Chains A and B, each alone.
Chain A
Amino acid sequence: MAREFGDVIIDLQNISLRFGGVKALTDISFNVREHEIRAIIGPNGAGKSSMLNVINGVYHPQEGKIIFHGQERQKMEPYEAASQGIARTFQNIALFKGMTVLDNIMTGRNLMMKTNFLHHALFWGKAQREEIEHRKKVEEVIEFLEIQSIRKTPVGRLPYGLQKRVELARALAAEPNLLLLDEPMAGMNVEEKQDMCRFILDVNDQFGTTIVLIEHDMGVVMDISDRVVVLDYGKKIGDGPPDEVKNDPKVIDAYLGTSH
């Protein structure tokens, strides 16, 4: 499928990240174009999650440059990344367990809320209007991800697959332009995986959201992504369209293996 992509939205140049003596990432460069689905694959411990953490400001690489929307990015904190439209989900579900599905997703919109705690304490008027306005947007996300029936359920009581979906909903509620998904399909059965793939493609299609995802299910990765980065031991060993990567001997050697 030939798809048109926009400009480079984020360009990572020669990123190196160390924790003490441990080299998590070494000299990695790749870019993400607007509107594409970019996959990062590689064996466990290859540095995939670290890569996402670098993109949204949880980790600060010792070397390298990050050009975001054409501007070199200074060292930034996660909340700054969030305010620039980067949202993500986590490998181990990172929902707010004590809160309902609705509250979790509403929290995703916190950056767009302008009222302060004094408004909230009084509630009537401004705070209530804002709450209703954002509730409408959240209901759109809820409808999009087909989780209407569980909106008042505390997330701790939900099965795993649904929790993953709620986490995606929370990220989407922020209306991101760059969405980072860390193993969105881990631990799911085939049906749930198909649902999740559909949602990811729909998000990409309907909202034009650029997506960077980490995934171990090669069937999924090769199916839905436009370009794939392959990491191994913190180094980049492959980069390109799925078909190209799939047949790259280095990638086969390090990760994909051969079928016997």
Chain B
Amino acid sequence: MFYREAGQFKASYQNDQQIFPIRQDQIGFIALMGFLFLVVPFIANQYWLQAVLIPVLIFGLAALGLNILTGYAGQLSLGSAAFMAVGAFGTYNFMLRIDGIPFLVALLLGGLCAAAIGILFGLPSLRIKGFYLAVATLAAQFFIVWVLVKFGWFSNYSSSGVITAQHVNILGVDFRSPEMKYLLTLTVVVVMALLAKNMVRSSTGRKWMAVRDMDVAAEVIGIRLMRTKLQAFAISSFYCGVAGALYAYMYLGTVEPEGFNLDMSFRILFMIIIGGVGSIMGSFIGAAFIVLLPVFLNVAFHSTIGAYVPADLASNLELIIFGALIIFFLIVEPHGLARLWQLTKEKLRLWPFPH
């Protein structure tokens, strides 16, 4: 009843092309941002910030990176975690080796390193598609982690291969407390998500989707496949790289190359499948689902039957339920939770008078 566009007329193409064409969505978005920026830092405790919100945001950004490549440009990839590793170790080395470099510059450069590596490993996409490409990107996953372990230079010859993120200080403001880390992460993620939204709603995004949906037709109307695919690889890897650097600097503090393993790539892939392939918001919903569900299950188990079953059985049960829920959601809506949200909104526009 409250969510409908009656009376909202678009008098110019500019109005018609807004990110949120419906006023209720605009208000909702502003309210959400206000809540995340102004309210959450004051009400959330350290556990919520450090163990829930920051990882959801960071994985959401990584999922968004993969979604650009897989959801929009249609190129399947299993190397997202490796590109995150490039971003993390790239940023670390820029911070380490260039004296006084601002963190955001190092972050940008780390992301650009990931973009360059992404282009390199995107080259097979010019010849192969689908599952075969996924297998080719596996090479990136294993090769990059191997290089980071093998050559001590990347981890500044630390004996264990673990790097410890330097403290972040921007213009004299120290980002040591969970609240500050949360705010910095949130800012980077929101800005990058908006930039991504702008890209996918303009010519860049249309080219990606054209290549995804029908590459022959795309070529015939003048889209250069090679350039478009490699651009998608570069931008996707850039997003993953920045997410990886945030993962090291804002979330864990210490990371090792093996932390960015295939398991993590798969988790990111699950995030976009559950959240919604080809949806910016879906990336974040999927990340929230995959990161939070195990936490909720754990809490739920402990508060209910935790006292009666052995701990190892409980943790296995959690995994089983987690898997079952993923399957359940995929059956209910194969296009992901974002689609579910979309359908709800479409229904809501007519509710409660569907005619």
Contacts and interface: CB of A to CB of B under 8 A. Distances in A.
Contacts of B4: none
Contacts of A130: 203
28 contacts: A56-B220, A58-B220, A78-B219, A82-B221, A87-B220, A87-B221, A90-B216, A94-B214, A94-B216, A94-B217, A95-B214, A95-B217, A97-B213, A97-B214, A99-B210, A103-B209, A107-B207, A108-B221, A110-B222, A111-B221, A117-B199, A120-B205, A131-B17, A131-B202, A132-B13, A132-B17, A170-B221, A171-B221
Contacts of B13: 131-132, 135-136, 139
A148 interface: no
B195 interface: yes
B224 interface: yes
A132 B278 CA distance: 24
A150 B235 CA distance: 32
Nearest to B220: A78
Interface residues of A, number: 42
- Taking each of B14, B196, B204, which has the highest tally of chain A beta carbons within 10 Å of its own beta carbon? B204
Interface in B277-327: 278
A22 interface: no
Given A99-B213, A135-B13, A110 B223 contact: yes
Interface of B: 12-14, 17, 195-196, 198-199, 201-207, 209-210, 212-214, 216-224, 231, 235, 278
Contacts of A107: 203, 206-207, 210, 218, 221, 223
B14 A90 contact: no
Given A96-B213, A99-B206, A110-B207, A82 B199 contact: no
A77 interface: yes
Nearest to A115: B203
Top 9 A-B residue pairs of the complex, sorted by shortest distance between their CB atoms: A82-B222, A94-B217, A96-B213, A123-B198, A120-B202, A111-B222, A121-B195, A117-B204, A78-B219
Contacts of B196: 121
Interface in A169-189: 170-171, 174
A128 B202 CA distance: 9
Contacts, number: 114
A158 interface: no
B204 A174 contact: no
A120 B204 contact: yes
B37 to A, nearest CB: 21
A171 B220 CA distance: 10
B278 A120 contact: no
B199 A79 contact: no
A128 B216 CA distance: 28
